[in-house]
């Protein structure tokens, strides 16, 4: 087999590059294995979901099975839990919050594939979608729900995820299950949010799964709104203010 003179330099360059990259890949794999072993020895039961070097030299980001983000030095001697912040000429960038936002979006997207949401679709052109973790008995959740028609008219689709703050086995939790299991969940939600009684109903439902999802992504109160990019907005925000923040007007 013969090669043209123009091909030979490229082959040499590719060979040299692969020789340089293979040790780097091997070194990265060794570091990740070392960190994983040290963490699992120090914290029995911990599962590492993913790991990657950060922009800070010698520091690796570690994501665990419970949604936590932590950091380890590449020699696996030091671990720290907290926010990693990059300073720049304009101020600072919270790299950990960026990672949380990305992780939150991925987690919700995966969950959304399973369905089980109570949805209020935008009227006309859909301009934005928000995921709202809600509690039927929460006063500010009811206030937000009272603006549902306005949100939909503004082109915002609202997906409700159940997050009864009192937790499983409580009256509030059972109320959300009854709404979800009703023949018309949207009508039942409207009635319950206005303070009306909803007939008890039970069925296979995703309420506990949605509640656990909320806890996993950092929901601590209701309403909590998750934007399409994964940003978490805790608390009530008026419909027009929310729409303005979404760039709708």
* CA nearest neighbour of 154 among 246, 247, 243: 243
Residues belonging to the active site: 135, 138, 141, 165
Close Cβ partners of 221 (under 8 Å, ≥ 6 residues apart): 165, 234, 235
Say how far apart CA 105 and CA 84 lie, in whole Å.
20
Report yes or no: 63 and 51 within 8 Å, Cβ to Cβ.
yes
Cite the beta strand spans of the chain per DSSP E: 48-53, 59-64, 69-73, 79-80, 85-88, 91-94, 118-120, 128-134, 156-162, 224-226, 232-234
- In the block, which residue shows the tokens 């490229």? 10
Pairing mode of beta strands 128-134, 118-120: unpaired
Pairing of strands 232-234, 59-64: unpaired
- The per-type count for the chain, helices as H runs and strands as E runs, is 8, 11
Which has the closest alpha carbon to 141: 124, 164, 166? 164
Taking alpha carbons only, the member of 206, 19, 33, 236 closest to residue 111 is 206
Task: Please report the DSSP string for 30-68 in residue order.
Answer: HHHHHHHHHHHHHSTT--EEEEEE-SSTTEEEEEETTS-
């Amino acid at each position: 087999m013969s090669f043209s003179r123009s091909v030979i330099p490229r082959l040499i360059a590719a060979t040299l590059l692969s020789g340089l990259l293979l040790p780097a890949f091997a070194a990265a794999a060794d570091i990740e294995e070392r960190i994983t072993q040290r963490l699992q020895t120090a914290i029995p039961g911990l599962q590492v979901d993913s790991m990657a070097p950060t922009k800070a030299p010698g520091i690796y980001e570690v994501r665990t099975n419970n949604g936590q983000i932590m950091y380890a030095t590449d020699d696996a001697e030091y671990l720290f839990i907290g926010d990693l912040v990059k300073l720049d000429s304009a101020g600072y960038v919270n790299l950990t919050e960026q990672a949380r936002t990305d992780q939150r979006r991925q987690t919700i997207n995966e969950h959304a594939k399973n369905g089980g949401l109570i949805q209020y679709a935008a009227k006309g052109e859909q301009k934005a979608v928000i995921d709202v973790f809600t509690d039927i008995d929460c006063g500010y959740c009811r206030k937000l729900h009272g603006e549902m028609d306005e949100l939909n008219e503004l082109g915002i689709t609202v997906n409700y995820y159940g997050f009864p703050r009192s937790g499983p086995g409580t009256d509030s939790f059972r109320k959300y299950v009854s709404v979800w299991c009703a023949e018309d969940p949207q009508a039942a939600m409207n009635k319950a949010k206005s303070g009306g009684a909803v007939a008890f109903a039970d069925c296979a439902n995703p309420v506990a799964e949605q509640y656990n999802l909320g806890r996993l992504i950092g929901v601590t109160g209701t309403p909590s709104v998750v934007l399409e990019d994964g940003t978490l907005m805790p608390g009530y925000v008026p419909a027009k203010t929310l729409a303005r923040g979404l760039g709708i007007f």
